[in-house]
Amino acid sequence: MSSAVSLRGVSKAFGPVQALDSVDFELAEREIHALVGENGAGKTTLMRILAGLEQPDAGRIEIAGRNTTIPDPQTASRLGIGMVHQRFQLHPSLTVLENVVLGAEPSSYGLFGKRRAMRQVGELAERYGFDIDPGARVSSLPVGVRQRVEILKALHRGADILIFDEPTSVLTPQETQGLFGILRSLKDDGKAIIYISHKIWEVLEVSDRISVLRRGRNGGEVPTREATAEVIAERMVGHELPPLQRAVQREVGAVAVEAHDLEVEDDRGVMAVRGVTFSVRKGEIVGLAGVEGNGQRELIEALAGLRVPTSGEVVLGGQTVTRYNLYERRRLGLALIPEDRDREGVCAQLSIAENLLGNRYRDRPYALAGVLQRRPLLELSHDLMGRYAVRAEGPSALVKTLSGGNVQKVVVARELSGQPQVVLAVHPSRGIDIGAMRAVHQELLDLASAGSAILLVSGDLDEIFALSDRILTLFEGTVTGEVARATATREVVGRLMLGTGRAAA
């Protein structure tokens, strides 16, 4: 087995942070090699080095057996390394064809050889079974197809080594299966693929070999057929994970939050939520599954009081609150873990304590007669930082000095402490490591056991299935189905998320 890529003893430090510490990595030809690890484990840094975006402090890089350096992305491209980014680097107003050839246009006498480009792209698409119209404008394409454009772009530049960075984070289960098919056909055609992910089951399904990175060091390498999810998870976090504790029989009580015929517009005035009705009872976790951009944001904002619905009603604890603002709804026991942690969840330049204060800053004992009280806040901060295992120097540490997982713990600690009646949890574990994710999930389960009603919004079916009692699917602003978790399968939920399934009981 010859190597397409071989990295030996690669190290890279950013200031005091050792992002990579003498890491070895080997990619064989005709192989799908998965690279897994928690956030901040160094996956992205390693790939940026391969893509010529970062220079290693030490170590050797061999491409196809030849010692080399990759000073810039152009060199990477010449060496046959192509990257499919998590955030697509496409021009929405150009066509598929134009995007694919942009920067590497076939030309004759300085004129764009459109016919030749068309032929090249058509051949590529056919070879790998992409069903794609080269003349379509990218802005009109669904996400899964845009990703194929991105792949075509790399192939058109002659990439033999393809790097996929979290490629499924924006895909539906069906689109994910489609991607896996593409990956396999690429492999069969002789391409070598690095597949970066933190979703273990995906990696187990698609890869040939799995390498684990843990805190910038090699965490071991296993052939996929010998790997199990538990083993990989343990290697990622470095210790065994406690299983989720789920109350055997939860008391499901009265309706805590309900939406009636809710219609909500997005920022552009386009109807994003079209007549949604549902309710969540006390002690219940309802998962709202859907591909991002199908009205989740607008629905949650309407439930939270951040966006005025054009019609319909929101009822919180038996009280119609459609006209209440978020502050008033919070007073009725609403908690919100917002979608965008860094932008909406915290204020990075404020301290941990001041961030924990956010949802109670006008309440006793934290404020008296308009004056903030330091001591109660300090006590609260110490207590919450202990309970939620926030790793930081102390309550006065600025949130911007924390890692992503710890930032999310601050958000979760603030929102879930103080017995909320209703929790709107949007992507509560996005971008945080497995250990922190497990803690957040356990906290949500415990809250449900204690009688809170929880609406969990997630595009990650693992998360939806791990926590929900019932699953609602949202597609283009309407609820396309409702299934009990016990009877649900990924396939059914996935189809409902695409609006192609039918509601099962």
User: Own/partner pairs for 124-130, CB < 8 Å, 24+ apart?
Assistant: 124/152, 124/155, 124/156, 125/152, 127/189, 128/155, 128/182, 128/185, 128/186, 128/189, 129/181, 129/182, 129/185, 130/182
Among residues 55 and 310, whose Cβ is nearest to another protein? 310
Distance CA 357, CA 432 (A): 22
Q: Which of 31, 54, 298, 354 binds another protein (CB under 8 A)?
A: 354
Q: Does 338 bind another protein (CB under 8 A)?
A: yes
SS3 category, 95: strand
Give just the sign of the alpha carbon dihedral 72, 77, 81, 86.
positive
Rounded to a whole number of angstroms, the CA Rg of the chain reads 24
Distance CA 311, CA 265 (A): 10
Q: Which of 15, 243, 269, 370 binds another protein (CB under 8 A)?
A: 370
Q: Does 361 bind another protein (CB under 8 A)?
A: yes
Backbone angles phi, psi at 477, to 5 degrees: 80, 5
CB-based contact 47:224 (threshold 8 Å)? no
For 214-269, what is the HEC assignment? ECCEEEEEEEHHHCCHHHHHHHHHCCCCCCCCCCCCCCCCCEEEEEEEEEEECCCC
Taking the complex as a whole, the smallest distance from the CB of residue 487 to another protein amounts, in Å, to 36
CA 50 to chain centre: 23
Distance CA 188, CA 428 (A): 38
**Options 228-236, 351-359, 435-443, 446-454: segment touching another protein (CB under 8 A):** 351-359
Q: Count Cβ atoms within 10 A of the Cβ of residue 209 and give its class: 0-12 exposed, 13-18 middle, 19 or more buried.
A: buried
Helices then strands, counting H and E runs in the chain, come out as: 16, 24
Taking the complex as a whole, the smallest distance from the CB of residue 307 to another protein amounts, in Å, to 10
Distance CA 242, CA 439 (A): 9
State how beta strands 192-197 and 32-37 pair.
parallel
Q: Does 201 bind another protein (CB under 8 A)?
A: no
Q: Specify which residues 212 forms β-bridges with.
A: 36
Q: Does 340 bind another protein (CB under 8 A)?
A: yes
Among residues 341 and 470, whose Cβ is nearest to another protein? 341
**Options 142-150, 333-341, 401-409, 434-442: segment touching another protein (CB under 8 A):** 333-341
Q: Does 372 bind another protein (CB under 8 A)?
A: yes
**Options 174-182, 332-340, 438-446, 469-477: segment touching another protein (CB under 8 A):** 332-340
Q: Does 350 bind another protein (CB under 8 A)?
A: yes
Backbone angles phi, psi at 271, to 5 degrees: -65, 115
x/- mask, another protein, residues 286-315, rule CB under 8 A, reads -------------------xx---------
Q: Which of 117, 124, 141, 346 binds another protein (CB under 8 A)?
A: 346
Q: Does 37 bind another protein (CB under 8 A)?
A: no
Residues binding another protein: number (CB under 8 A)? 29
Q: Which of 148, 187, 198, 329 binds another protein (CB under 8 A)?
A: 329
CB-based contact 258:284 (threshold 8 Å)? no
Token readout for 244 is 């989720």
Q: Does 325 bind another protein (CB under 8 A)?
A: yes
x/- mask, another protein, residues 389-428, rule CB under 8 A, reads ----------------------------------------
Token readout for 78 is 């010449």
Half-sphere exposure of 466 (CA within 13 A, CB side): 21
Q: Does 265 bind another protein (CB under 8 A)?
A: no
Among residues 10 and 321, whose Cβ is nearest to another protein? 321
**Options 72-80, 123-131, 328-336, 444-452: segment touching another protein (CB under 8 A):** 328-336
H/E element, 303: helix 296-304
Q: Which of 53, 102, 143, 326 binds another protein (CB under 8 A)?
A: 326
CB-based contact 105:117 (threshold 8 Å)? yes
**Options 101-109, 149-157, 314-322, 337-345: segment touching another protein (CB under 8 A):** 337-345
Taking the complex as a whole, the smallest distance from the CB of residue 418 to another protein amounts, in Å, to 14
Q: Which of 2, 108, 249, 349 binds another protein (CB under 8 A)?
A: 349
SS3 category, 146: helix
Distance CA 100, CA 85 (A): 14
Among residues 28 and 326, whose Cβ is nearest to another protein? 326
Among residues 119 and 343, whose Cβ is nearest to another protein? 343
**Options 76-84, 217-225, 233-241, 347-355: segment touching another protein (CB under 8 A):** 347-355
Q: Does 208 bind another protein (CB under 8 A)?
A: no
Among residues 106 and 376, whose Cβ is nearest to another protein? 376
Q: Does 14 bind another protein (CB under 8 A)?
A: no
**Options 76-84, 149-157, 320-328, 388-396: segment touching another protein (CB under 8 A):** 320-328
Q: Which of 28, 53, 347, 397 binds another protein (CB under 8 A)?
A: 347
Interaction site with another protein (CB under 8 A)? 305-306, 325-330, 336, 338, 340, 343-350, 354, 357-359, 361-362, 367, 370-372
